[in-house]
Amino acid sequence: MKSLAVREVVYEPDNCLKQGYRGLLRDVFMDVVNNRWLTLQILRRDLFAVYRQSAAGLLWLFINPLLMIGTFVILGRSQVFNLGDVRAPYPIYAVLGMSLWQLFSVGLTSSANSLVAAGPMIAKINFSKKSLVIASLGSAMLAFLIQFAIVTVLFVGYRVTPSFFIALIPIMAIPMAMLTLGIGFIVSLFNAVMRDVGVAIPVLIQFLLLLTPVLYAPRPGIIGELTKINPLYYLVSVPRDLVLRGHSDHVVGYLAASVLAIFVFVLCLTVFHLTETRIAERV
């Protein structure tokens, strides 16, 4: 009979810090890869639970952004709010921007509440809590795909031909998803300790929506100056400009925002990895 190979694993206090940064990062990403099945199962459970218990179901993914866009259309036509020169049929401009924005707003709201919502499971079972936060992005990705489908229908309805960059929208949305997950990892930890964080997130997102030219064209002034240092603006406007016009004046800003998104994702994921063993005590 063949002898079975025995692998000895030694657990020590702060072992993650002793193995150095390379070893720590390797463990972090291997943990994410090894728990991908768990992440997918949590994702499926969350999607079925949310939309099965709702009377409108998936229609809410259409209703919320359409109500917001309709409000801006009414304000613009009544000259209460200046939408600016969007250089495209406004519904296309707005829905395309909202599809990218919803990836951030829905993803951040879901990830902020991911640990609190799974409190009983965390208290009873020892598993990778990163799967909860990563799976929470699933509802945001579903909203993004549905609204992207709406954009495609609008292009046909308005007889507008998009540039070939429309095929790259899912790839160009990756930095936004990484930034959302990165912030979500940290916010979920704070929300596990202070429930006020989860209440404040939707308010903060609405405030950021007004500061970010998602539903209106950029303009000079205070908002314009804030826009220059707002990474969310580049992650929304540049993919939209590339789809609508085939070029953008802020590609460098988009690349800088993408690098920032990667840095935030890696840093926050690592911090979460180092602290997730203490989550059960707080939730």
Q: What is the pLDDT of residues 8-64, one digit of tens each?
A: 555 555 555 556 667 777 888 888 888 888 888 888 887 776 666 655 556 766 676
- By CB atoms closer than 10 A (0-12, 13-18, 19+), residue 133 is buried
Asked, for residue 3, whether it belongs to a domain, the answer is no
Question: Is 26 a domain residue?
Answer: yes
Instruction: State how far the Cα of 43 lies from the Cα of 142, in Å rounded to an integer.
Output: 11
Query: What percent of the chain shows pLDDT beyond 90?
Result: 18
The amino acid sitting at 173 is A
Whether the per-residue pLDDT at 104 is higher than 60: the answer is yes
Chain segment 109-161, per-residue pLDDT in tens: 989 888 888 777 887 887 788 888 898 888 788 878 888 888 888 888 888 88
**How does residue 185 score in pLDDT terms, banded at 50, 70 and 90?**
very high
Domain that holds residue 33: 15-282
Asked if the structure places residue 168 within a domain, the reply is: yes
Residue 186 has pLDDT above 90, yes or no: yes
The pTM of this model reads 0.83
Instruction: Summarize pLDDT for 264-273 with one digit per residue, the tens.
Output: 999 999 988 8
Domain assignment present for 7: no
Amino acid 153: pLDDT: 84
Q: What is the pLDDT of residue 161?
A: 87
pLDDT at 196 over 80: yes
User: Structural domain tally of the chain?
Assistant: 1
Look at the block and give the residue holding tokens 């007004």: 210
Is 9 among the domain residues?
no
